Amino acid sequence: MKPLHRTVAALAWLIALPNLALASAALALPAPAPELALTFDDLPVHGPLPPGQTRVGVVTDLVAALDAAKAPAFGFINGAHTQQEPSSAPALAVWRASGRPLGNHTWSHPSLNAIDAATFEAEVARNEPLLRDLMGEGDWRWLRYPFLAEGDTPEKRGAVRKALAAGGYRIASVTLSFGDYAWNAPYERCLAKGDAAAVADLETRFLAAAASDADRARAMSKALYGRDIPYVLLMHVGAFDARMLPRLLALYQARGFTFTTLDKAERDPFYRTDLDPSLPPEPTTLENALRARGLTPPASAIDLAGLDGVCR
C-alpha cells in the first residue's frame, strides 16, 4: 500500500493536468488578428482633381474598393463643399447608397485651435441638417475634429466636449495615420505632366508609408498594453486615395488585419473618453498615451515633406 502522502500528491497531479493542458493550449494559440476601422474625411471634396476625374467618380471608386474587400467605413462631411462645388453633392448619395454612414467634420473645416468654442459649436450645428437628410434614422452623431485639433487651451477643449456630450456626440479618434492626404496634390501634378514613372514612385512610397505606420502603431500599442487595440485609420476622399485603396486594403489584409466598424473599434477601453465626452479627456493617440507614461514614441520614418517637390 502506497504511503498516504504519495497518494495525495498523485491525485493533486492528476487534478492539475487539465489546467496545465489548458494553459499550454492558451500559450500555443495565435494572437487575435488586429482590427482596423476605416474612416474617410472631407467628403465630398478633398484635394485637387486630375484631368478628366470628378468628385463623384472618386467616391464611386472608393466605394467599389471597399465593397470588394467587404470593408466597413465611416465618412465625415464638410457641408460647405456642396455649395463651393455643387457638382460634388451627388458623391454623398453614392457613399450612402453603399450603406456606409456619415458623420460630422464641421461645416467648413476650421481648426478649433484657431477659433473660439462658440464658433466651433456653430460649425458643428450647421452641418447637422445635411446629415439628417443623408442619414435619416442612422447614427450620424460622431465628430471628427478638423486637423485633429481639439483646442489650444483646456478651457476651450472642455467647453466643446461639454457641448458635444449634450448633443449626444462621440469623438472619432485616430490611431493610424500615414499622411495619405499628402499624396493627392503631387499625383495630380504628375498626371498633368504625363509622368508615369513619378506616379509609380508615388505608389511605392504610399504603400511603404502605410506599412511602416501600421508596424509603428502596433509596436506602440503592445508597448502600452501588451496587445493590439482596435485601430482607427484616417484616410481622405482624394483621387490618389481612390487609385490606391484596393492595394492598400490588400496590404492591411496581408499583414493580418481584419476590418471592423468605427463603433465596434471604439468600444475598446482605450477610447472611453471619446465615447463619452462628458468625461475628463485622456490621451487618445498612441503617441500621447506613451508620453503620459513618460515614454518616448518611436520616430516615424515617413517623409511627407519630400512629396512637396514631386513633379514641380
Write down the pLDDT at residue 193: 96
Q: CB of 55 within 8 A of CB of 87?
A: yes
HEC secondary structure over 32-92: CCCEEEEEEEEECCCCCCCCCCCHHHHHHHHHHHHHHCCCCCEEEECCHHHHHCHHHCHHH
Confidence band of 29 (pLDDT split at 50, 70, 90): low
Rounded CA separation 160/123 (Å): 11
Write down the pLDDT at residue 32: 87
Instruction: Measure Cα distances from 241 to 106, 113, 121, 180 in Å.
Output: 22, 27, 30, 7
Confidence band of 24 (pLDDT split at 50, 70, 90): very low
In a domain, 3, yes or no: no
Mean pLDDT of 112-125: 98
Mean pLDDT of 148-174: 97
CATH assignment at residue 82: 3.20.20.370
83 phi-psi bin (left φ>0, alpha ψ -120 to 50, beta other): alpha
Write down the pLDDT at residue 230: 98
In a domain, 63, yes or no: yes
In a domain, 85, yes or no: yes
Mean pLDDT of 100-119: 98
More confident residue, 25 or 290: 290
What amino acid is encoded at 170 in this protein?
R
Rounded CA separation 178/81 (Å): 24
Say yes or no to pLDDT of 25 above 90.
no
| Residue from 236, 263, 233 nearest 77 by CA | 236
Confidence band of 28 (pLDDT split at 50, 70, 90): low
Instruction: Measure Cα distances from 127 to 39, 45, 161, 173 in Å.
Output: 18, 15, 17, 19
In a domain, 25, yes or no: no
Q: What element of type H or E holds 143?
A: strand 142-143
In a domain, 218, yes or no: yes
Q: What range does the domain containing 280 cover? A: 35-307
In a domain, 195, yes or no: yes
In a domain, 82, yes or no: yes
Phi, psi of 248 (to 5 degrees): -65, -45
User: How many C-beta neighbours within 10 Å does residue 39 have?
Assistant: 25
Write down the pLDDT at residue 10: 42
Check whether the bond before 50 is cis (ω within 30° of 0). Answer: no
In the numeric block, which cell numbers belong to residue 102? Answer: 456619415
Packed helices 117-135 and 90-97: angle between N→C axes, nearest 10 degrees: 60
In a domain, 266, yes or no: yes
In the numeric block, which cell numbers belong to residue 88? Answer: 460634388
Rounded CA separation 290/273 (Å): 17
Domains contained in the chain, number? 1
Q: CB of 104 within 8 A of CB of 135?
A: no
